[in-house]
Amino acid sequence: MPNFGNVQLKLLERLCNVIAVSGDEGEVRKIVLEEVKPYADEVRVDALGNVLATRRGRGAKRMRVMLDAHMDEVGFMLVADDGEGIYRFETVGGIDARHLLGKQVYVGKDRTSAVIGGKPIHLMDNGERMRKVPVDGLRIDLGPAGKAKVGDRAGFATQFRRVGPSILSKSIDDRIGVATLIDLVKHSPGNVDLCAAFTVQEEIGLRGAKVAAQYFNPDLAIAIDSTPANDLPVHEGGENITYNTKLGLGPAIYIADGSTLHDPRLVRFLQSVAETESIPYQLRQPGGGGTDSGAIQRALAGIPTVSVSVPHRYTHSPISIARVDDWKNTLALLHAALKRITPELIAKR
Amino acid sequence: MTDILPFLKSMITTSGISGFETSVAKLIEDKWRPLVDEISMSRVGSLHGLKRGTLGGSKNGVATNKRPAAMIATHMDAIGMMVSKVSDGFLHITNVGGIDVRVLPGSFVTVYASSGEELPGVIAMPSAKLLPEEVNGGDVLEINYLLVDTGLMPREVERKVKVGDLVSFANEPMELADEVISGHTLDNRASVAALTVCLEELQGKSHIWDVWAVATVQEETSYLGAYTSAFKLHPEIAIAVDGTFAKGPGANGWQTHPMGKGVGICMGPNMHPYLHKQLTDLATKLELPWFLDVTSAHSGTDAYPMQVTTEGIPTALVEFPIRYMHTPVEAVSVKDIRRAGRLLAEFIASLETDFVEKIIWE
């Protein structure tokens, strides 16, 4: 594995600080193109906005391996102009409205400063104070003379931070996957043709991954994403048995989620690579949710697919937290796994 | 006249939760020192700046050592949170002042740790599965179910943070269109900024009354500063400066006023009608945009404690509209701050020798 350090972290910071709401991924696309062009044999931007980069290996019997990371993030779209700089909005992707009141956002291509506001607490009765404010009770406010356009996207105005062992940032889901995939393109081993899919619109239905898989027609695929760590303590004690993943235990390998039973050969393969290389890993608790693997697996005549995620807390909120070591170990696992991929891996069920 | 915005921004990025105002008090003291003749701190931490008037040593025609004085109170404390328990590497918190719990999940905060460090953190909302059955995990959670995550390992958290450590909102100020500043703690640092504008304006004016510029402590919790400073300074009149509700999303009732369109001059039992009339007449004369605000009982500001201190003090209340009060994205028009400062300065300059005698009821 290449050295892990400032280069990767600086890239992640750049990726996290730009806004790329599903359907408007241009800001991330720009960075991805700039980063992968010098290393890829072919790069194209497809009809949906996916960046599809191929880096060929050397030698015979090369496997076509599709690696996928989604560029988009959850956010907002302005849907109506209430006048005097105040706009109604809808959420794009799954956002808990309880994370929105009193947050700062950037609106549109020029990143215009704005805030999400609602009725002040002083003007409410006790019942209202403890009731969730639905999205249609909230507004994006640019200031009285503020101008935006209906259709503009907005995203959280959170700045990326390194704190001790952690990263505090918006959209770790899935910029950490994008940064991982860029690193894998830069250091792709010779035994595979690496088909890197930087996809769009994952958060609103895995739309980019579907066409990316159809374009690449790979032998196998790995979706690289970031999955929730619901590893907070139970209030007043007791064991948390539905944590999904835990921070600090390493990359999370998927077995089953809401849309996919991951290819058992690939699940076992990743586990054995981790064990051989002494890389910590965890098995994501089987359950709901999903990644681009759901779309890739059933593309064309079917593609053996697995999913690996860096765990993060506070998903789809203004600030998520991930551990640097979990990311480092995810990169280590994927670099080590890529080198070991051979046709035998999926020759038999 | 300097631009007040940089000072306001530095004030709202400096800590000063109720009861722990020292850092922001220092910042204000440095700003006020060249603008006043004397500056000192009260026993409970309020800041007293005295700008002397020019009136000779007489009052009511009787020789006296005390010039009449007007006290202008702006509270410098902020609402915030306090660590109530450290467990499993997470911090449990409680409120200091009237926190709107609806804004807490996902908020960026600073933990002022016992170790002396300022630790960044985020307020976490546990999922319904981790909460007691009787709690509706899908609705707004009471503050005692929320946690602060600093991103540090549990052992490090336990070493650094103790019960009683303060937690403050930490989002950076944001400038919105049309000279609107947004951020946490604009209630009531924006008033301190207005009072600072007043002191700057007074540099070029002659005024015969003394003026006490006061930055009070603990308004959000007990009005401690206003009670005690009014007692200590014993002014002839007192004016509080504070925010009122701006019109905006979800706020269009009679209590709300347009932001950026002028200052509020409040009337009601908490304010002396004569002072109110003088202020409104003056604003009209100056063609300074203002609106009438009314409060039928308690104004919820420092005007309340000052009115009942010593033998009773004629009190007034000058306001500017704030959007999203008690959230981390409070928004205030800088134009209104400047207007409030100017109105206060013109009022001080207008005070004549016999003004006190004119403060009558009928």
Domain boundaries along the sequence of chain B: 5-78+184-358, 80-169
Nearest CA in chain B to A166: B151
pLDDT band of residue B362 (cuts 50, 70, 90) is: confident
Please give the interface size between A and B, counted as residue pairs whose CB atoms are below 8 Å apart. 200
> How close does chain A come to B92, measured CA to CA in Å?
10
> How close does chain B come to A159, measured CA to CA in Å?
10
Record: contact B177-A99, CB cut-off 8 A: no
Partners of B128 on chain A (C-beta within 8 Å) are: none
**CA quadruple B146, B151, B154, B155: dihedral, nearest 10:** -140
Give me the residues paired with residue B229 across strands: none
pLDDT band of residue A127 (cuts 50, 70, 90) is: confident
Partners of B126 on chain A (C-beta within 8 Å) are: 232, 235
Report d(CA A285, CA A293) in Å as an integer. 16
Between the alpha carbon of residue A30 and those of residues A35, A192, A213, A241, B212, the distances in Å are: 9, 26, 21, 41, 57
Three-class secondary structure of residue A285 per DSSP: coil
Interface check A151 vs B, CB under 8 A: no
pLDDT band of residue A115 (cuts 50, 70, 90) is: very high
Closest CB to A102 among B131, B176, B327: B327
Nearest CA in chain B to A146: B177
Report d(CA A204, CA B28) in Å as an integer. 49
pLDDT computed for residue A124 by the predictor: 87
The helix (H) or strand (E) run that includes residue A271 is helix A264-276
Residue B236's contacts (CB-CB under 8 Å, 6 or more residues apart) are B68, B69, B70, B209, B313, B314, B355, B356
A86, A96, A103, A105, best to mutate vs chain B, most B CBs in 10 Å: A103
A88, A91, A100, A104, best to mutate vs chain B, most B CBs in 10 Å: A104
If DSSP states are collapsed to H, E and C, what string results for chain B? CCCCHHHHHHHHCCCCECCCCHHHHHHHHHHHHHHCCEEEECCCCCEEEEECCCCCCEECCEECCCCCEEEEEEECCECEEEEEEEECCEEEEEEECCCCHHHCCCCEEEEECCCCCEEEEEEECCCHHHCCCCCCCCCCCCHHHCEEECCCCHHHHHHHCCCCCEEEECCCCEEECCCEEEECCHHHHHHHHHHHHHHHHHCCCCCCCEEEEEEECCCCCCCHHHHHHHHHHCCCEEEEEEEEEECECCECCCCEECCCCCEEEEECCCCCHHHHHHHHHHHHHCCCCEEEEECCCCCCCCHHHHHCCCCCCCEEEEEEEEECCCCCCEEEEHHHHHHHHHHHHHHHHHCCCCHHHHCCCC
Record: contact A102-B176, CB cut-off 8 A: no
Average pLDDT over residues B200-205: 96
Average pLDDT over residues A91-118: 96
Nearest CA in chain B to A113: B176
Nearest CA in chain B to A165: B152
B5, B85, B115, B122, best to mutate vs chain A, most A CBs in 10 Å: B122
Record: contact B130-A130, CB cut-off 8 A: no
Does residue B57 carry a pLDDT above 60? no
pLDDT computed for residue B290 by the predictor: 98
Closest CB to B151 among A112, A158, A166: A166
Record: contact A123-B130, CB cut-off 8 A: no
Average pLDDT over residues A313-339: 98
- What's the length of chain B? 362
Q: Give the lowest-confidence range in A39-43, A238-242, B164-168, B225-229.
A: A238-242
Question: Taking each helix axis from N to C terminus, what angle separates A6-17 and A26-36, rounded to the nearest 10 degrees?
Answer: 150
pLDDT computed for residue B63 by the predictor: 52
* DSSP code per residue over A220-270: EEEEEEEEE---PPPTTS------SS-TTS-PEEPSB-SS-B--HHHHHHH
pLDDT computed for residue B78 by the predictor: 96
> What is the value of pTM for the model shown?
0.94
Contact B198, B344 (CB under 8 A): yes
pLDDT computed for residue B1 by the predictor: 55
Report d(CA B335, CA B211) in Å as an integer. 23
pLDDT computed for residue A341 by the predictor: 96
Contact A111, B226 (CB under 8 A): no
Query: Residues 177..216 of A with a Cβ closer than 8 Å to B: which?
Result: none
Q: How far is CA B155 from the centre of its chain?
A: 38
Closest CB to B249 among A117, A143, A163: A117
Best CA proximity match to A326, nearest among A340, A339, A313, A341: A313
Q: What are phi and psi of A325, to 5 degrees?
A: -65, -35
Q: What are phi and psi of B32, to 5 degrees?
A: -80, -25
B11-31 pLDDT tens trace? 999 999 999 999 999 999 999
> How close does chain A come to B168, measured CA to CA in Å?
14
Does residue B261 carry a pLDDT above 60? yes
Record: contact B249-A85, CB cut-off 8 A: no
B327 residue type, one letter: T
pLDDT computed for residue B62 by the predictor: 55
Does residue A173 carry a pLDDT above 90? yes
Nearest CA in chain A to B119: A163
The yes-or-no answer on residue A202 being catalytic is yes
Query: Which CATH number does B80-169 carry?
Result: 2.40.30.40
Three-class secondary structure of residue A276 per DSSP: helix
Does residue B91 carry a pLDDT above 60? yes
Give me the residues paired with residue A282 across strands: A252
Q: Hey, what are B1's tokens?
A: 């006249």
The helix (H) or strand (E) run that includes residue A139 is strand A139-141
pLDDT computed for residue B66 by the predictor: 72
B293-336 pLDDT tens trace? 999 998 999 999 999 999 999 999 999 999 999 999 999 999 99
Contact B83, B161 (CB under 8 A): yes
Three-class secondary structure of residue A288 per DSSP: coil
B270-299 pLDDT tens trace? 999 999 999 999 999 999 999 999 999 989
pLDDT computed for residue A17 by the predictor: 98
Partners of B103 on chain A (C-beta within 8 Å) are: 101-102
Residue A326's contacts (CB-CB under 8 Å, 6 or more residues apart) are A247, A248, A249, A250, A251, A310, A311
A32-45 pLDDT tens trace? 999 999 999 999 99
Best CA proximity match to A273, nearest among A312, A308, A224: A308
Report d(CA A53, CA A185) in Å as an integer. 8
pLDDT band of residue A329 (cuts 50, 70, 90) is: very high
Closest CB to B177 among A143, A163, A313: A143
Please state, as a whole number, how many other Cβ atoms lie within 10 Å of the Cβ of residue A218. Answer: 26
Average pLDDT over residues A268-275: 98
Question: Cα(first)–Cα(last) distance of chain A, in Å?
Answer: 29
pLDDT band of residue A15 (cuts 50, 70, 90) is: very high
Partners of B109 on chain A (C-beta within 8 Å) are: none
Active-site entry in A13, A25, A35, A202: A202
Does residue B142 carry a pLDDT above 70? yes
Peptide bond into B165 cis (omega under 30): no
Report d(CA A261, CA A275) in Å as an integer. 22
pLDDT computed for residue B59 by the predictor: 52
User: Average pLDDT, whole number, for chain B?
Assistant: 95
Query: Residues 3..32 of A with a Cβ closer than 8 Å to B: which?
Result: none
Partners of B251 on chain A (C-beta within 8 Å) are: 119-120, 123
CATH fold of the domain at B5-78+184-358: Aminopeptidase (3.40.630)
Record: contact B102-A318, CB cut-off 8 A: no
Closest CB to A86 among B135, B150, B249: B249
Report d(CA A7, CA A5) in Å as an integer. 6
Contact B21, B188 (CB under 8 A): no
Average pLDDT over residues B91-103: 95
pLDDT computed for residue A118 by the predictor: 85
Contact A142, B176 (CB under 8 A): yes
Three-class secondary structure of residue A170 per DSSP: coil
Does residue B58 carry a pLDDT above 70? no
pLDDT computed for residue A348 by the predictor: 85
Contact A298, A136 (CB under 8 A): no
Between the alpha carbon of residue A10 and those of residues A28, A158, A171, A193, A196, the distances in Å are: 14, 16, 15, 27, 21
* Domains parsed from chain A with CATH numbers: 6-73+170-346 (3.40.630.10), 75-156 (2.40.30.40)
Q: pLDDT above 90 covers what percent of chain A?
A: 91
Record: contact A104-B175, CB cut-off 8 A: no
Residue A28's contacts (CB-CB under 8 Å, 6 or more residues apart) are A15, A18, A20, A71, A72, A175, A178, A198
Report d(CA A284, CA A120) in Å as an integer. 41
Interface check A109 vs B, CB under 8 A: no
